[in-house]
């Protein structure tokens, strides 16, 4: 009996201890990532499947407590991804690409928002919830895009436009979500002044942009005379971590702050390549953990709920149509080349951390406290819809992105 209890205690310890979770996630992610690569799938698919298998609804190897304890890894990964992708917003590069990136970004965002909002408005969801979900639908998973591009070692016009579109698109999507969230109390009949809420939303976005620019400028100055990659890495991580913590504490956008910080470094520092290159050794384990942890949050049981199946299916289809046709229309209006018009849209299907972060705000957003509360089942339905989108698009999105990147590589060569 004592042996059984001892073994049982060890199992419980292994399920809740964060270090065990990290070790199993890294090793499991590595093995399934290699397996995915051997059958022609992006290794990111293996990472997500690893998390799904280790989560509570399958084998339960990593318990919810351990996954929650590792939430800081998700914050670190998103911060580094945002900072890295911000480096693609160099004015010289954007100028060289012309107006196409602006047209693609605005077009795919506007069409995605419109199609999702209109589609969901014909269901049981109210207009305010449909608009909030439409804003969430506008986001694209930068982590998936960065990982696919890095794993294929792709370079060229298509990749430049893809990175710039994702960075600008997510920044605008965050702004749209903040504005819609500010207007929701008025739409639901709350006794609030919409002008005050809208001003707060705009202020938070403005402060995030200014803070990101200031941190990026200080980082540029601090690393200007450094040449050792280890010193640059320490200082860069210090500023990225501080900016992320400040954003979380002040209810600002960590993603927007780090995108702006990365863009500021890329434009102000002549040695910006050394700053971003210093982060490269960290990306394989951090990205692997990020996607495995994301996989542990997926709940297959959600997919069998009839309402979630219907609403989630409509959400996914409308979002995919908006991304694809919006990007194609923007590329045509912006005079982009044929590979961009044909393939960039399907590279934007991946949906993950940013979307989850936004939709979970619905459960605790201070704006929603100032109006008649949304029924809990409505909030949970909205969360389940996005979870289903993440479940489907985080597995299929990287596959589509990998196909697009490889096809355009052949065409550009």
What Å distances lie between residue 285 and 27, 252, 297, 315, CA to CA?
10, 27, 19, 32
DSSP 8-state class, residue 140: -
Residue 53 belongs to some domain of the structure: no
Residue 15 belongs to some domain of the structure: no
Residue 355 belongs to some domain of the structure: yes
The reported pLDDT for the residue numbered 371 is 47
**Above pLDDT 70, what percent of the chain?**
80
Domain containing 372: what range? Answer: 71-294+302-412
What are the tens digits of pLDDT across the range 90-106?
887 777 777 888 899 99
What are the tens digits of pLDDT across the range 335-376?
888 888 888 999 999 886 667 666 655 555 544 544 455 555
Q: How many domains does the chain have?
A: 1
Higher pLDDT, 183 or 86: 86
Which residues lie below 8 Å from residue 384, measured CB to CB, with a gap of 6+? 302, 305, 308, 311, 312
What whole-number distance in Å separates Cα of residue 242 and Cα of residue 118? Answer: 40
Predicted TM-score of the model (pTM): 0.74
- Range of lowest pLDDT (143-147, 165-169, 195-199): 195-199
Using CA of residue 276, residue 278, residue 281, residue 282, what is the dihedral sign? negative
Question: 10 Å Cβ neighbour count for 379?
Answer: 18
pLDDT, mean over the chain: 79
CATH number at residue 179: 1.20.1530.20
- Is the CB of residue 205 less than 8 Å from the CB of residue 174? yes
Which residues lie below 8 Å from residue 374, measured CB to CB, with a gap of 6+? 129, 188, 362, 368
What whole-number distance in Å separates Cα of residue 170 and Cα of residue 355? Answer: 10
Residue 91 host element (H or E): helix 91-97
Question: Which two tokens mark 365?
Answer: 């957003």
Residue 290 belongs to some domain of the structure: yes
What whole-number distance in Å separates Cα of residue 69 and Cα of residue 22? Answer: 10
What whole-number distance in Å separates Cα of residue 167 and Cα of residue 175? Answer: 13
Residue 403 belongs to some domain of the structure: yes
Residue 256 belongs to some domain of the structure: yes
Q: Which of 164, 343, 139 lies closest to 253, judged by CA?
A: 139
What are the tens digits of pLDDT across the range 234-266?
999 999 999 888 887 887 778 788 888 998 998
The reported pLDDT for the residue numbered 189 is 57
* Distance, first Cα to last Cα, the chain: 68
The reported pLDDT for the residue numbered 195 is 58
Residue 26 belongs to some domain of the structure: no
HEC profile for 303-326?
HHCHHHHHHHHHHHHHHHHHHHHH
The reported pLDDT for the residue numbered 119 is 94
Write down the residue that tokens 């005079």 correspond to.
335
Residue 383 belongs to some domain of the structure: yes
């Amino acid at each position: 009996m004592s042996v059984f209890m001892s073994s049982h205690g060890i199992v419980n310890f292994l399920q809740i201890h964060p270090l065990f979770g990290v070790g199993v996630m890294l090793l499991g992610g590595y093995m399934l990532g290699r397996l995915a690569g051997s059958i022609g799938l992006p290794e990111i698919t293996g990472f997500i499947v690893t998390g799904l298998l280790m989560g509570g609804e399958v084998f339960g190897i990593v318990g919810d407590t351990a996954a929650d304890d590792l939430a800081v890894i998700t914050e670190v990964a998103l911060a580094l991804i945002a900072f890295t992708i911000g480096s693609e917003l160099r004015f010289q590069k954007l100028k060289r690409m012309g107006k196409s990136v602006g047209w693609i970004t605005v077009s795919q965002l506007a069409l995605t928002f419109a199609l999702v909002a209109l589609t969901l408005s014909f269901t049981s969801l109210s207009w305010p919830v449909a608009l909030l979900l439409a804003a969430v639908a506008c986001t694209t998973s930068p982590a998936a895009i960065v990982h696919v591009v890095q794993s294929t070692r792709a370079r060229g016009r298509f990749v430049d436009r893809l990175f710039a579109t994702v960075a600008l698109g997510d920044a605008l999507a965050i702004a749209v979500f903040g504005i819609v969230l500010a207007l929701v109390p008025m739409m639901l009949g709350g006794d609030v002044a919409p002008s005050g809420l809208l001003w707060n939303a705009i202020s938070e976005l403005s402060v995030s942009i200014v803070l990101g620019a200031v941190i990026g400028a200080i980082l540029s100055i601090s690393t200007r005379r450094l040449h050792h990659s280890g010193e640059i890495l320490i200082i860069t991580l210090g500023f990225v971590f501080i900016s992320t913590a400040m954003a979380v504490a002040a209810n600002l956008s960590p993603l927007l702050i780090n995108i702006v910080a990365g863009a500021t470094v890329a434009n102000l520092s002549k040695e910006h390549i050394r700053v971003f290159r210093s982060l490269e050794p960290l990306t394989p384990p951090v990205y692997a953990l990020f996607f495995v942890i994301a996989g542990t949050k997926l709940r297959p049981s959600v997919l069998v709920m009839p309402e979630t199946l219907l609403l989630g299916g409509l959400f996914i289809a409308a979002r995919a149509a908006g991304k694809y046709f919006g990007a194609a229309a923007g590329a045509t209006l912006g005079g982009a080349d044929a590979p961009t018009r044909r393939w960039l849209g399907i590279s934007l299907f991946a949906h993950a951390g940013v979307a989850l972060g936004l939709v979970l705000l619905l459960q605790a957003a201070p704006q929603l406290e100032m109006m008649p509360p949304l029924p809990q089942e409505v909030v949970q339905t909205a969360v389940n819809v996005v979870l289903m989108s993440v479940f489907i698009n985080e597995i299929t999105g990287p596959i589509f992105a990998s196909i697009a990147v490889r096809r355009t590589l052949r065409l550009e060569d």
